[in-house]
Copies of this chain bind each other. A is one copy, B any other.
């Protein structure tokens, strides 16, 4: 059904038909659909969504729409939604909403949930604690499979994931049993006999990006989160980890393109905010380029005497920048997926220098031939050849070293990507080129 058909049905008050249609849609699609309608219709449509799908649909909406709805809900409606929402989604909601909306939300939750929300809100922003949920199934070692299945049947409905159950003793995590084990093993077996005791878990204060990496490495559906005493405090599920991972990629790409990372999507960001995200780096890089300008002024007499020298500046600067950003991108990715450590510096440099020698030689030869063809000047070809070769070597060296240095200093390696590397290399390229040129042309 197209949006305009829904509009028509709304106008003709054929709510039953809309309800029927909405009932065929996934919650994520429902949230998308509602976003396309104005406020008044959003609320009307939301009330036509199946009760069972309402909370999940609500959790999938953009914050702005959630705010509208919370303000439009009666206390009873809000309470129903809140009862059905998973705790981690509620926490996300509380974090996004303005204070008066948060008040209304908290009024609609019971005292126990409020306390749990508070606990979760207290974890540092980038920690595993901040993305975990405290809803999970805990079992005892002396339970049988049958008892465990019974427990799941009793409380399972409210758990976000029941596919991994956690075996607890004195609040400590001692084992893991998957739903698959429970489904397959004999009913009378004891949990302690089928549980996995080699547990991979994270600490509440671990960096959430490191947690996301574990999901990628091991392909888990959920990872348990423990405190310093190895007591189980919650679990992180793969969907939340996936989001962390995507945010990280988006953030890296922004930083690598000289922008402040933004949580909003492209159209969701205002023109002013777009400008703000971009201007700081541009200003910094523009002023840094002044240094290259100053180096050029120093050689003013040189290119006044041999003006053709100027025409190679874009090519040299471009090649240096591209070589540098190739290396820096590779190293930034390698650092991000933990393939490369700071201790590998020598190994990386050795590799990059050999690559640079090959690439530099090839570029120097091709460019030399071009110059001889265009200008029939061997001296110029030699000058450009040597310059190119040295610039490529330096570009690869700086391009691979700076991200590793940034990591070592606790900075984001992505800062050392193309824009900054290119600006640094511009100065270096000009210096190398004119130093050689003044020597060779005795200027």
**Residues on A close to B: CB < 8 A?**
23-26, 28, 149, 152-153, 156-157, 162-163, 179-180, 182-184, 198, 200, 215-219, 221, 238-239, 242, 246, 249-250, 253-254, 256-259, 265-267, 271-272, 274-275, 278-279, 281-283, 285-287, 289-290, 292-294, 296-297, 300, 303-304, 307-308, 310-315, 317-319, 321-323, 325-326, 328-331, 333-334, 337, 339-340, 344, 347-348, 351, 354-355, 358-359, 362-363, 366-367, 370, 418-419, 422-423, 426, 430
Contact = CB atoms under 8 A, between A and B. Distances in A.
A282 B358 contact: no
A358 B289 CA distance: 21
Nearest to A288: B318
Given A242-B216, A310-B310, A311-B297, A183 B25 contact: no
Given A179-B163, A359-B275, A426-B318, A254 B329 contact: yes
A179 B279 CA distance: 51
Given A259-B329, A362-B283, A308 B297 contact: yes
A202 to B, nearest CB: 14
B296 A318 contact: no
Contacts of A258: 322, 325-326
A153 B184 contact: yes
Contacts of A152: 183-184
Given A253-B333, A355-B271, A319 B285 contact: yes
Given A156-B184, A339-B266, A274 B311 contact: no
Nearest to A314: B292
Contacts of A330: 257, 259, 266
Given A296-B310, A354-B271, A285 B153 contact: no
B363 A283 contact: yes
B315 A289 contact: yes
Given A216-B246, A217-B28, A219-B239, A293 B319 contact: no
Contacts of A354: 271
B289 A314 contact: yes
B162 A183 contact: yes
A366 B140 CA distance: 67
B267 A339 contact: yes
B238 A319 contact: no
A149 B325 CA distance: 55
A129 to B, nearest CB: 21
Contacts of A183: 149, 152-153, 156, 162, 179, 182-183
Contacts of A179: 163, 179-180, 183
Contact of A318 (B180, B265, B285, B297): B285
B326 A259 contact: yes
A285 B322 contact: yes
A12 B62 CA distance: 62
Nearest to A199: B26
A253 B253 CA distance: 8
B287 A370 contact: yes
B314 A317 contact: yes
Nearest to A354: B271
A314 B426 contact: yes
Contacts of A26: 198, 200, 218
A367 B287 CA distance: 8
Contacts of A200: 26
Given A242-B242, A286-B319, A292-B315, A307 B308 contact: no
A20 to B, nearest CB: 12
A247 to B, nearest CB: 12
A308 B283 CA distance: 21
Contacts of A418: 257, 325, 418
A358 B325 contact: no
B218 A286 contact: no
Contacts of A257: 325-326, 328-330, 418
